[in-house]
Amino acid sequence: MDNCLFCKIVRGEIPSTKVYENDKVYAFRDINPQAPTHVLVVPKQHVPSIDGINEMTDSDLAACLRAVREIAAQENLAGGYRVISNCGPDACQSVPHLHFHILGGRKMADQMA
Ligand code: 5GP
Ligand code: ZN
């Protein structure tokens, strides 16, 4: 996707602070962190949101969650963390490339939204 912000970050055309990378997944620090640790995990394949995951192989999809786990360990989030994927307008998704927010390093609110 030529004009997708996160595709450009994956390709290195827009700078980012890399946290983790393998052949299927790229992860970087959110530009507007909502917690001491706020990492975005994205598949290298362009998929708009969870609504589009049938375009992905199970292996590529699983790689995203396996990366979440790896990053949580790497970032020393032993006390816990929250994983969020906003999907569509009602969830206020602002970048239409599937991503998982990892939020940690502080106690989260006990309400989800
Ligand atoms: P969404 O609202 O779609 O769930 O999350 C998009 C996230 O991308 C937001 O938390 C926002 O701060 C982050 N973001 C937007 N543009 C950039 C950027 O250019 N670089 C980085 N690192 N994060 C970005
Ligand atoms: Zn994209």
CA distance 63 to 74: 16
Closest residue by CA, ligand 1 atom 16: 31
Q: Using an 8 Å Cβ cutoff, are 11 and 28 in contact? A: no
pLDDT tens for each residue of 76-103? 999 999 999 999 999 999 999 999 999 9
- Pocket residue to mutate for ligand 1, from 32, 47, 93, most atoms within 8 A of Cβ: 32
5-104: which CATH topology?
A: HIT family, subunit A (3.30.428)
Query: Please, how many CA atoms are within 13 Å of residue 77, restricted to the half-sphere of its CB?
Result: 24
For the question of residue 46 being annotated catalytic, the response is no
Position 113 confidence tier, pLDDT thresholds 50, 70, 90: confident
Atom of ligand 1 nearest to the CA of 85: 4
Whether the per-residue pLDDT at 35 is higher than 90: the answer is: yes
Contacts of 41 (CB under 8 A, 6+ apart): 20, 25, 26, 27, 64, 67, 68, 71, 99, 100, 102
CA distance 84 to 51: 14
CA proximity to 22, closest of 4, 46, 43: 43
The predicted structure's pLDDT at residue 112? 86
The predicted structure's pLDDT at residue 95? 98
Atom of ligand 1 nearest to the CA of 34: 10
pLDDT tens for each residue of 1-29? 899 999 999 999 999 999 999 999 999 99
DSSP 108: P
- Pocket residue to mutate for ligand 1, from 94, 97, 98, 101, most atoms within 8 A of Cβ: 94
